[in-house]
Structure 1
């Protein structure tokens, strides 16, 4: 969460770079990332050392000869001696971090370009002092720092790219429930927020024995992505490495170009692809143009995901609203491909303020499964009205900070009681979204509801109807009611509307009937008020 205090701390570090003679924002972002990475390596080592006292076995990150590379020792050094360790190109810190990971791994490949770029010892000294004062222990502050740093790049991002807020990532990961069998991809990987979120989910929902069994799959095959920015490649690689993925497959390629040949490889895609980018038509992969003949990246990425998924693979993707209702041929063709030739599961409409202050665009999450032969029956729509923060540029928290942080980074979904969820709903829809979708996908839904979502009268034990697994209002909700936030729309209605997926096309607005008095009655009241006014005026004149 970007707090005023964190902004101030990063702004101070930014000013140190500027006044120290470094005006290039990309360089500042990259150098800060290296320093955060070095700091986190030491914090990881400290955690392992504490675990070792309880019998935990681990391979040390730092050898006896590399103890000077640890943050706890670096921050205590003489200014010039410290700078020498950083600038040493033979056996200094940067050769060390370039050596992390196996020599043949993509992590090692991306890190080969990591170089130290802070020329003045005094600048390094001040930056380390400021970074050391930032508390990174109780939440994923690294991601918040990346978000704020990236906002300083031109336009808050490049080609419509904006870091996805962590609570939205958490919701999407919870919706899709990744498993140890999955091969997960983000074709616009950025800082690897979605992949890190998936890794945290997998770590949380599996015991150590299973994680050990799948260790090779986790380290080498499970996490995949594409990115053409060398800076983002390094940031993503470092982020995943710090979260326990030793050899993430983050490939240096323009995702929708001819150079990207990945097809039928992944079982789950989580992504927030660029919204406003375009690509030269000559460089677009031919197979993508067959699905949607366009140069717009928001459409090409959807075609790419269909190509990259295995049959039966699933995707949860953030798209701008224009993708849902655009009337151009390219827009219609990609929607028809997803709805008619594959299986569209859900459309979650998000309010326009979710990406503020970096962008005010209205967006939605679409969830689909690659089948290649259709399968869309009903599509679940949800009208998200509140995500826990104000929808203006300030994005002020509307719910308890600890609860919001626990939802975004911890286990609030498991610990939050029903009363709290219901009380918060008007300000925080995300728990209900997750509950409704999981219920809709469960066997309980088929038992309690007709095909159109109407509630059935079923007599059975509460546990056999799902009351032990879902919120009561989730089970008793009428999903055929299009005046509600959560409802179903059948395939035939969507096909009849030219594959339009905008929620306003299907949601019914109930207008409250207001009765007004007859004009004669209103005029009578006005005359009465006028007479009373005249009477008071005469009294005032009398005593003046």
Structure 2
């Protein structure tokens, strides 16, 4: 629930950084994240102090007796000449040795730097962030998501976020429960993990827990999640990336959405070091994985863990990530993963081997084709979503052809009425292989036996039937007579015009 006024505050904060000389959108987000974290540390300390005052119980302090001047409530009142060196030389180094509620934030704050060099910009940014409702559980997550939406409009140095409505669509398909252990091996800004948290918060809110503001916006408190809070706080969400900036943003994103101690780590999950560094995550660890792993690029064989190459001998990251996800899932664990269309129909040995593994050794449940404009303006690649369960048996595969996602498919991506996503979710939830046989419809099933016969091709167009409606035309003689009549009419009109001109 974010009001127009809050959006305006974020817009002004964003503009302040640009006019202050920091124009890289990712850098702007990162610097705002650092300052938000500084304020959150102080908010947490104040909350713990109040609790200790009521209960008399001690707590682990985030600021020692000699570090009180590093608290937001202290330095926000300083002038720019005093504030800048204090924040740069003392507050930022303090980040590396502290955290909120056992977070791993300090793990990737080692190279954190204050890039704000103008005292006026720092003072303005601190003043604006101080006015944001970061203490409000109902709004702080939406507020940060709106801030991250600036990356979509500005681009992320060649990278692009998965659109939020596509994330929600994939979460709806998997319908996670509060007991899941959820991961993303290439988490970026944490969009999928946050998407699950938002879904759970909305689904597990009682009628009394729904708050409505003056503008009619609803906020979900997730009051029915209370029995699961300990698991949500530190055991439910796991993410990996090898971009420290992304990790900081992902961690802050989750923290602001009620996941107080997200398990986010710096790691290339395809590499040899992943099972060594994180043996508890690398194999048979998770019940749910949602991902949009990097498509472009290839790796050297020696950089990839042998267990992945044993499944699919390739250098292509989009194929290796599917093998990785299967390894990370527990038996019976589920995944919805975005892949480029080439994964669905590629004819190389590795492509076929991967699809064969999905169909013959696991339960491939769905192939959902997305329109090619979903990731515009940054990528026009055609993609699909694979939904599968580790282990089990594939009898039939659900196909759905999403032709519209509620936004124009050009670079502008303006909202439009046409949207197949709600229908896709509804058809998925009511799916029936015995009934959904019409290959001319948007949704239909294909048997595993037929897919095997087609060399494991998973492209929807391979199985979709198109009805060609026969057009009826007049006989050629009738058309010729009509043309003669038109010619006579033209000749008569020209003669009349010539007579008028004298």
TM superposition score normalised by structure 2? 0.81
- Give the distance between the partners of 1:266 and 1:257, measured in 2 at CA: 19
Instruction: Provide the residue aligned with 1:87 in structure 2.
Output: 88
Query: C-alpha deviations, 1:429-463, integer Å up to 9, x for none?
Result: 111111111122xxxx4xxxxxx433xxxxxxxxx
Segment drifting more, 266-275 vs 139-148: 139-148
Counterpart contact for 1:270–1:317, Cα < 8 Å = yes
Counterpart contact for 1:233–1:250, Cα < 8 Å = yes
- Give the distance between the partners of 2:386 and 2:158, measured in 1 at CA: 24
- In angstroms, what is the RMSD of aligned CA positions? 3.5
Is the alpha carbon distance of 1:211 and 1:536 closer, same or farther for their aligned partners in structure 2, counting shifts above 3 Å? closer
Counting matched residue pairs gives 459
Is the alpha carbon distance of 1:151 and 1:330 closer, same or farther for their aligned partners in structure 2, counting shifts above 3 Å? farther
Counterpart contact for 2:374–2:409, Cα < 8 Å = yes
Is the alpha carbon distance of 1:14 and 1:299 closer, same or farther for their aligned partners in structure 2, counting shifts above 3 Å? farther
Instruction: Provide the residue aligned with 1:530 in structure 2.
Output: 487
- Give the distance between the partners of 1:239 and 1:138, measured in 2 at CA: 9
Is the alpha carbon distance of 1:6 and 1:155 closer, same or farther for their aligned partners in structure 2, counting shifts above 3 Å? farther
Instruction: Select 1:198's aligned residue among 196, 218, 229.
Output: 196
Query: C-alpha deviations, 1:61-101, integer Å up to 9, x for none?
Result: 99895796159x93x76433443442241xx3762685222
The answer as to 2:114 corresponding to 1:116 is yes
Instruction: Select 2:180's aligned residue among 159, 182, 189.
Output: 182
Map 1:472-483 onto structure 2 (within 5 A).
479-483=436-440
Q: CA deviation at 1:289?
A: 0.6
The answer as to 2:147 corresponding to 1:145 is yes
Is the alpha carbon distance of 1:68 and 1:209 closer, same or farther for their aligned partners in structure 2, counting shifts above 3 Å? closer
Q: Which runs of 5+ in 2 are unaligned?
A: 50-58, 206-221, 276-281
Is the alpha carbon distance of 1:26 and 1:538 closer, same or farther for their aligned partners in structure 2, counting shifts above 3 Å? closer
Is the alpha carbon distance of 1:23 and 1:206 closer, same or farther for their aligned partners in structure 2, counting shifts above 3 Å? closer
- Give the distance between the partners of 2:87 and 2:428, measured in 1 at CA: 50
Is the alpha carbon distance of 1:61 and 1:527 closer, same or farther for their aligned partners in structure 2, counting shifts above 3 Å? farther
- Give the distance between the partners of 1:394 and 1:134, measured in 2 at CA: 30
- Give the distance between the partners of 2:239 and 2:48, measured in 1 at CA: 28
What SS does structure 2 have at the residue aligned with 1:352? Answer: coil
Instruction: Provide the residue aligned with 1:12 in structure 2.
Output: 15
Query: C-alpha deviations, 1:129-156, integer Å up to 9, x for none?
Result: 7778999959835334335437756752
- Give the distance between the partners of 1:526 and 1:252, measured in 2 at CA: 74
- Give the distance between the partners of 1:48 and 1:509, measured in 2 at CA: 64
- Give the distance between the partners of 1:46 and 1:173, measured in 2 at CA: 35
Map 1:131-530 onto structure 2 (within 5 A).
137=139, 140-149=142-151, 155-157=157-159, 162-206=160-204, 211-261=225-275, 262-371=282-391, 374-399=392-417, 427-440=418-431, 445=432, 452-454=433-435, 479-530=436-487
What SS does structure 1 have at the residue aligned with 2:330? Answer: strand
Query: C-alpha deviations, 1:226-275, integer Å up to 9, x for none?
Result: 11111112111121122222222222211111111110000100100001
Q: CA deviation at 1:518?
A: 1.3
Q: CA deviation at 1:113?
A: 3.8
Counterpart contact for 1:332–1:498, Cα < 8 Å = yes
Q: CA deviation at 1:221?
A: 1.8
Counterpart contact for 2:344–2:459, Cα < 8 Å = yes
What SS does structure 1 have at the residue aligned with 2:289? Answer: strand
Counterpart contact for 2:26–2:156, Cα < 8 Å = no
Is the alpha carbon distance of 1:39 and 1:527 closer, same or farther for their aligned partners in structure 2, counting shifts above 3 Å? farther
- Give the distance between the partners of 1:189 and 1:370, measured in 2 at CA: 21
- Give the distance between the partners of 1:44 and 1:204, measured in 2 at CA: 25
What SS does structure 2 have at the residue aligned with 1:260? Answer: helix
Q: Which runs of 5+ in 1 are unaligned?
A: 50-58, 400-426, 446-451, 455-478
Segment drifting more, 131-140 vs 76-85: 131-140
What SS does structure 2 have at the residue aligned with 1:214? Answer: helix
